[in-house]
């Protein structure tokens, strides 16, 4: 196995698991437009029943609940972590508190989530962080197994990775639809380790969020690395469960 430098830390990984949004790609540029479109669709369906509430007011309520605060996203809020099925529950609950029967709110939200994904091609909003492709290619060239563990749906994750010309650099992808328990439960790591026949002590988890770090710690793997470039969590947030924190994926270098 090749030696890899993660910032100031040297390790010999058999397998590196990467989070996707916020680690490889820009989380905010992808997901905020999707959420805005969901809100727009919901409002068009329910505006007559929302007791004269404006779309701006509804948007502010949803933003606040998800932890989208002015120009930043709260690292401890739901937005960086929740898969679509949990987004549906959160938004439906907000609508219920606005006077919409819960079953109706849930139906409208489910429709909006599905329709937003058809109206907006998320691939068009995906921005790969600088240097990611080159870093992954160098790791792959040196026979290090690479995988993705994401809260996104697996099929969509594949499409996004293909659009950025990095899909072929990965050996395995696990999305929220393939596990019973979402991050920070370590199920994604255990599933990946089984699929890749990898020793947990030789696995590295690389992610930008608190739940990525906790997932890695709970799996008791070889190394847990936090990444700051995603801009969701602070260094202090990540250091609680990370072995170290680096500025970006570019700081992962094959020696």
- R_g over Cα of the chain: 19
In b/e form, how buried is each residue of 152-180, taking b as 16+ CB within 10 angstroms? bbeebbbbbbebbebeebbbbbbbbebbe
| Banded model confidence at residue 184, pLDDT cuts 50, 70, 90 | very high
Q: Considering only CA atoms, which of 19, 23, 67, 73 is closest in space to residue 230? A: 23
Evaluate if residue 71 carries a pLDDT over 80: no
Q: What is the mean pLDDT of residues 204-211?
A: 96
Q: Write the pLDDT tens digit of every residue in 85-142.
A: 899 999 999 999 999 999 999 999 999 999 998 899 888 889 999 999 999 999 999 9
Q: Provide, for the chain, the percentages of residues in helix, strand and coil under a 3-state DSSP scheme, each rounded to the nearest 5.
A: 50, 15, 35
Q: What is the mean pLDDT of residues 200-222?
A: 97
Q: What is the mean pLDDT of residues 193-215?
A: 97
In the three-class reduction of DSSP (H, G, I as helix; E, B as strand; rest coil), residue 134 is classed as: helix
Measure the CA–CA gap between 10 and 18, rounded to whole angstroms: 18
- Could you tell me if 184 and 55 are in contact, meaning their C-beta atoms sit under 8 angstroms apart? no
| Banded model confidence at residue 1, pLDDT cuts 50, 70, 90 | confident
The region that residue 12 occupies, defined by phi over 0 for left and psi between -120 and 50 for alpha, beta otherwise, is beta
The pLDDT of residue 84 is 87
Q: Considering only CA atoms, which of 49, 59, 41, 188 is closest in space to residue 114? A: 41
Residue 132 has a CB neighbour count (10 Å cut-off) of 21
> What residue has token string 């969901």?
38
- Could you tell me if 137 and 128 are in contact, meaning their C-beta atoms sit under 8 angstroms apart? no
Containing H/E element for 226? strand 223-227
Give the predicted TM-score (pTM) of the model: 0.89
């Amino acid at each position: 196995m090749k030696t890899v430098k993660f910032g100031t830390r040297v390790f010999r990984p058999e397998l590196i698991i990467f989070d996707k949004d916020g680690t490889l790609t820009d989380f905010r540029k992808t997901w905020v437009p999707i959420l805005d479109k969901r809100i727009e669709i919901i409002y068009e369906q329910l505006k007559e029943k929302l007791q004269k509430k404006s779309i701006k007011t509804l948007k502010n309520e949803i933003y606040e609940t998800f932890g989208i605060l002015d120009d930043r996203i709260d690292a401890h809020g739901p937005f960086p972590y929740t898969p679509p099925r949990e987004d549906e529950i959160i938004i439906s609950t907000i609508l219920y508190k606005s006077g919409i029967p819960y079953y109706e709110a849930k139906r409208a939200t489910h429709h909006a989530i599905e329709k937003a994904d058809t109206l907006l091609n998320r691939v068009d909003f995906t921005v790969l962080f600088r240097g990611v492709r080159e870093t992954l290619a160098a790791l792959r060239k040196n026979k290090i197994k690479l995988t993705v563990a994401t809260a996104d749906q697996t099929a969509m994750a594949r499409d996004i990775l293909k659009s950025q010309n990095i899909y072929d650099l990965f050996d395995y992808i696990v999305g929220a639809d393939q596990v019973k328990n979402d991050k920070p439960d370590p199920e994604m790591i255990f599933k990946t380790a089984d699929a890749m026949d990898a020793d947990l002590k030789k696995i590295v988890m690389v992610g930008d969020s608190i739940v990525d770090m906790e997932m890695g710690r709970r799996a008791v793997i070889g190394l847990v690395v936090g990444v700051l470039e995603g801009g969701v969590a602070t260094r202090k947030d990540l250091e609680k469960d990370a072995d170290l924190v680096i500025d970006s994926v570019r700081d992962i270098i094959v020696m």
